[in-house]
Structure 1
Amino acid sequence: MTTDAAARAVAARKIYGRGETAVTALDDVTIGFPRGRFTAIMGPSGSGKSTLMHCAAGLDPLTSGQVYLGDTELSTLSDTALTKLRRERVGFVFQSFNLLPTLTAAENITLPLALAGVEPDRDWIELVTATVGLDDRLGHRPAELSGGQQQRVAVARALATRPDVVFADEPTGNLDSAASAELLGFLRHAVDAFGQTVVMVTHDPAAAEYADAVVRLADGRVAEQRETSGARR
């Protein structure tokens, strides 16, 4: 594996269940996600794409193999250290937004920093919120925002800690086509302007074309890796 990978999996296997009911979600997957690049993970339902992302992000342990964030092997960390690593070095964007309803947009964005006891870099937060077009919505709570605006808050929150990598799991799944294009444009801009690493699970071929590269899984294995046409950039 190349040393410029922000995150990588080596001989990754993930098996759910035991005996006759066992399901192999990942079957000897070795893959790296390069720094400063946008990678899309695709595949049919049950192909292992979300499992790969969850294991790479430290949300789910492997059955065997290794997952690294930079040079840190996640299986060597205690639960406390793994929680700290995810909070400080990983950003998440989920299909369901996962915002706290009692907090304003601004408070949701800086929540990871507050949990870590870190004072926000106000210049950086202002740049991120301006990039995703939230300047006039920061005092609003999630219920007062559209789905697209809520997901923009989620993207800004993911970027707030300047993480090593942002993992996005079907981030456009609950958005209409206009809001989806807007969100994907923000992720693309984060890569191009900020040097952010983004790994996105998607079922949408049009969404995948915003990425630099596409990894396609089938039956828990890597079936294809290709560069995108770049037509949308």
Structure 2
Amino acid sequence: MWTWSDSGTVDAVQTNPAARARALTKVHGTGDSRVVALDHVDVDFHTGRFTAVMGPSGSGKSTLMHCVAGLDAPTSGTVFLGDAELSAMRDDRLTALRRDRVGFVFQAFNLLPTLTAWENITLPLDLAGRAPDDALAKRIIDAVGLGDRLHHRPSQLSGGQQQRVACARALITGPDVVFADEPTGALDSSSSADLLGLLRTSVDDLGQTVVMVTHEPAAAAYADRVLFLADGRVVDELAAPTADRVLDRMKNLERVTI
């Protein structure tokens, strides 16, 4: 979670890393249909950092995100969010943890059509019986630039505006980690840049931790580092990425895996 200092800045209160996995393995099927989606993956996602996860189709990148976010159970290995071990939790505790400590942004906006933008943003807090932190809510609304659209329903918003509402909803609880799965996949280039800039701002100004799965080098360039997966393993890492450097790494990776 975040706390607000007297100066109005955000202090991260959890210890590094925000999330981590050890010997994470996910197997689908048995016998001839057995597929190893993740193969003994060790990975850390550090607090206040933006990590992009890339790899060829079928490399395990979405499976990794889903397991670390508590959306899917690993076959073996351990996953921690802060000091909490997800793999040891009962379903009810895991559901509460995802609601209170994890934010999600998906390619599909997943907004409720009968609720206003503001009601969609605050829905996780309503479900938890919590009131919004006024200072945090103002920072987020200012960042998404939807102050004049908060009372509009999703059908009255553009695709880019709907995704910004979804991003604000992911941030409103002050989560330990925001997981974004191909969040720009349904957006045009301008809306994509707006959303990625918002995720970058949440890291730089709010101290947020962001993990984003993407196949787009330009999107990955917004991150602090890029992890590359192939055949269910982390095979490479790139710090301070640019779109050109990411594209070169992806081309080399695809040549190796062909």
TM value normalised by structure 1 = 0.96
1:17 aligns with 2:23: no
Distance 1:209 1:127 in 2: 24
Matches within 5 A, 1:96-111: 96-111=108-123
Larger radius of gyration, structure 1 or 2?
A: 2
Structure 2, unaligned runs of 5 or more: 1-14, 244-258
- Paired residue type of 2:112: L
Structure 2 counterpart of 1:110, one-letter code: T
Q: Which moved more, 1:65-74 or 1:122-131?
A: 122-131
Looking at structure 1, the residues matched to 104 and 74 of structure 2 have their Cα atoms a distance apart, in angstroms, of 19
Structure 1 position 83 matched with structure 2 position 78: no
Q: State whether structure 2 residue 219 is matched by structure 1 residue 219.
A: no
Matches within 5 A, 1:98-177: 98-177=110-189
Equivalent of 1:178, from 167, 172, 190?
A: 190
Q: CA deviation at 1:20?
A: 1.0
Identify if the C-alpha distance between structure 1 residues 229 and 201 changes in structure 2 by more than 3 Å, giving closer, same or farther: closer
Q: Percent identity?
A: 67
The separation in 2 between residues aligned to 1:119 and 1:182, in whole angstroms, is 28
Superposed CA deviations along residues 12-51 of structure 1, whole A, max 9, x for unmatched, are 0001111110111000100000000000000011000000
Aligned-partner SS, 2:18: strand
Is contact 2:226–2:241 with CA below 8 Å preserved after alignment? no
Residues matched between the structures, number: 229
Unmatched 5+ residue regions in structure 1? none
Deviation string 1:129-183 (CA, Å, 9 cap, x unpaired) is 1111010110011111100000000110000000000000000000000100111
| Alignment RMSD | 1.0
The residue number in structure 2 matching 1:36 is 48
Task: Letter of the 2:34 partner, please give it.
Answer: A
Structure 1 residue 230 displacement after superposition:
6.4
Q: Distance in 1 between matches of 2:112 and 2:20?
A: 30
CA contact (8 A) 2:53 2:226 kept: yes
Alpha-carbon distance, 1:75 to partner: 1.2
Separation of aligned partners in 2, 1:165 and 1:73 = 15
Distance 1:106 1:26, change over 3 A: same
* 1:195 lines up with 2:210 in the alignment: no
